[in-house]
Amino acid sequence: MNKIQQGKLILTGVANFIKKDEKIELLVKKRMPTCLSCQHFFINRFNTPKCRACGCLLLFKLRSPNAACPLNKWNKASEDQDYQKQLTKLEHEK
Ligand code: SF4
């Protein structure tokens, strides 16, 4: 993935961080535990979670449905079958 593609994914994550969609927050809840237990996870000097493997700010990356872990520890939302099941359940509960 080039820098422009990576930037677009992060911008999507920024937009989703601002508007706080419940489906996106479900995605964060699913992805975050994996990052928290990963050796590449760290908190930077601005007290913000980051990934050392890709250099991304995780507050945004985790909120970008088409983003994926560079080490394949989690996938794009469309390829995450467990997340898709949780989404279906969420929609049926409405
Ligand atoms: S995105 Fe992947 S490599 Fe980076 S901290 Fe999360 S699990 Fe680890």
Does the pLDDT value for residue 55 go beyond 80?
Answer: yes
Which pTM was predicted? 0.92
Q: How far is the CA of 49 from the centre of ligand 1 (A)?
A: 11
Q: What is the pLDDT at residue 1?
A: 77
Range of the domain at 75: 3-92
CA 91 to chain centre: 20
Number of domains in the chain: 1
Average pLDDT over residues 10-35: 96
- Kindly report, residue by residue over 7-19, the tens digit of the pLDDT: 999 999 999 999 9
Average pLDDT over residues 46-64: 96
Residues with CB under 6 A from ligand 1: 34-35, 38, 40-41, 51, 53, 69-71, 73
